[in-house]
């Protein structure tokens, strides 16, 4: 981590910097805010620690006006509570009292700079993508990470960086969709003082900041086609031209890019340069949508329950079987991001000993309305299999559950869960069809198919009669 410290605090901040350095951080000192801004423009940093007696609001406003996104932590003598309140109101993320306490400083800095980067998965499709990512991470090849919004494309990019030979270098991400077209060129390539209105000093661009490391061009499909031509030159020549500059600057950067659109379609529509597409698309990592990896839904749900229970100071609660089924049968148009928000709400709304369906507030359609019947079938299969496994466990039957679906085809999963559910309900077709979320006609057709294949089928429950469906 690179830390910029602004101020002296009569030597107290020096002791704090020694603690931070002992934990592996690289320290840069600045006497005042103007000097600190010069350092940020020229070299960048991961975090700013500032003397609470400085004008923190002026620093925060200056950072905002120059679009420098970096967390600010104030520090001062422990007895100055009023100054601490003013610092937080001015925009500081945290306040560290001095004299410094090593554990407190470590905890605060970790909390401010930490990002959730855990890759939580069980589904074979995601495992296959991770294996491919590990294979290509060691090279310097450009990687295009494709997937719907919320599938974790930036998380995958960080994984590739951490597994690469550039892992000790910087990982810089820039969202091409979030920055106005007129400013994106300056953000990428930097600018010289006076290059345009508001360019009060020279500023390094993201390419120079990421020199020796990795640059993620997030949602690159949103980049204006005129800027794409300049980006192509950088990728080919490995030099950048700062806006207003007259001398190219060499850079050594590994490029990763993400898109939630089909770039081949964008090329055909004339919205994305074909030569840039092929330059970026040396390797493509396609992240499956959450509805296409149903085994990961309960795993991620439990992960987010633990995360937000801890964040809100409440004991974690288990999901009920009905709640799990509800999650598995939802469409998840917002993917993992939507699931995370849903589980955060559920942690806050759950009032009983478990998290039930009443705490699960879903939006959008269910997976049953998905146009891909195989995806819908797989999700319903996983839901029913988990339900059946839990019912067997609660009944103390001693039979192994069939929740481990890895290695099975969709047809095999469907057959197993239908027969397990039917056994549990003692052959009652009506109850089994209701639990499985299918019509009684569909169930009877499936059972006829399994019988023709030589599978033993439980006889109908009392009061039910077996009918063949034409």
Going from N- to C-terminal start, the domains of the chain cover 2-113, 124-286, 296-452
Mean pLDDT per 10-residue segment, the chain (470 residues) = 76 66 75 90 84 91 84 80 85 81 68 62 87 94 95 94 91 90 90 84 91 96 94 94 91 96 94 95 94 91 90 89 92 93 92 93 58 50 53 44 55 80 76 75 89 85 51
Q: Is the pTM of this model over 0.85?
A: no
Buried b (16+ CB within 10 A) or exposed e, 27-66: bbbbeebeebbebbbeebbbbbbbbbebebeebbebbeeb
pLDDT for res 296: 92
pLDDT for res 335: 95
Q: DSSP 3-state assignment of 53?
A: coil
User: Token pair of 203, please?
Assistant: 């500023």
pLDDT for res 460: 80
CATH class of the 296-452 domain in this structure: mainly alpha
| Beta carbons of 159 and 258 less than 8 angstroms apart | no
Superfamily of domain 124-286 in the CATH hierarchy? P-loop containing nucleotide triphosphate hydrolases (3.40.50.300)
pLDDT for res 311: 75
pLDDT for res 379: 55
From 15, 19, 9, 13, select the one nearest 1 (Cα to Cα): 19
Provide the CATH number for the domain formed by 2-113 in this structure.
3.40.50.2300
- Same topology, domains 2-113 and 124-286? Answer is yes
pLDDT for res 218: 95
Q: Specify which residues 144 forms β-bridges with.
A: 257, 284
């Amino acid at each position: 981590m690179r830390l910029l410290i602004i101020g002296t605090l009569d030597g107290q901040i020096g002791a704090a910097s020694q603690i931070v350095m002992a934990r592996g951080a690289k320290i840069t000192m600045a006497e005042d805010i103007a000097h600190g801004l010069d350092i940020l423009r020229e070299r960048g940093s991961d975090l700013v620690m500032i003397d609470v007696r400085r004008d923190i609001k002026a620093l925060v406003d200056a950072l905002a006006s120059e679009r420098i996104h970096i967390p600010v932590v104030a520090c001062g003598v422990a007895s100055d509570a009023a100054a601490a309140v003013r610092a937080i109101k001015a925009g500081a993320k945290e306040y560290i009292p001095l004299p410094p306490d090593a554990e407190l400083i470590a905890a605060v800095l970790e909390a401010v700079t930490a990002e959730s980067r855990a890759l939580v998965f069980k589904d074979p499709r995601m495992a296959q993508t991770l294996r491919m990512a590990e294979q290509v991470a060691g090279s310097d090849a450009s990687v295009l990470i494709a997937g719907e919004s919320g599938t974790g494309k930036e998380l995958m990019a960080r994984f590739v960086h951490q597994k690469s030979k550039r892992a000790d270098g910087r990982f810089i991400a820039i969202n091409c969709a979030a920055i106005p077209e007129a400013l994106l060129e300056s953000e990428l390539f930097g600018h010289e003082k006076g290059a345009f209105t508001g360019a009060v000093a020279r500023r390094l661009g993201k390419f120079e900041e990421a020199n020796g490391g990795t640059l993620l061009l997030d949602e690159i499909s949103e980049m204006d086609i005129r800027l794409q031509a300049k980006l192509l030159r950088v990728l080919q020549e490995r030099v950048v031209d700062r806006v207003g500059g007259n001398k190219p600057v060499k850079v050594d950067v590994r490029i990763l890019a993400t898109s939630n659109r089909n770039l081949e379609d964008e090329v055909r529509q004339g919205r994305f340069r074909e030569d840039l597409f092929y330059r970026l698309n040396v390797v493509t990592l396609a992240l499956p949508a959450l509805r296409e990896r149903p085994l990961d839904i309960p795993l991620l749900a439990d992960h987010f329950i633990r995360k937000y229970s801890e964040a809100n100071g409440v004991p974690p609660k288990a999901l009920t079987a009905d709640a799990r089924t509800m999650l598995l049968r939802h469409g998840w148009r917002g993917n993992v991001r939507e699931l995370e928000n849903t589980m955060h709400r559920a942690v806050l709304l759950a009032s009983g000993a478990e998290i039930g369906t009443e705490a699960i507030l879903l939006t959008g359609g269910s997976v049953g309305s998905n146009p891909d019947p195989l995806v819908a079938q797989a999700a319903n299969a996983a839901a029913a299999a988990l339900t059946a496994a839990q019912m067997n466990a609660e009944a103390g039957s001693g039979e192994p559950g069939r929740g481990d679906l890895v290695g099975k085809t969709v047809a095999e999963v469907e057959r197993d869960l239908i027969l397990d559910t039917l056994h549990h309900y003692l052959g009652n077709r009506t109850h089994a069809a209701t639990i499985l979320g299918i019509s009684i006609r569909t169930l009877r057709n499936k059972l006829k198919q399994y019988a023709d294949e030589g599978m033993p089928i439980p006889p109908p429950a009392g009061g039910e009669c077996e009918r063949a469906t034409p």
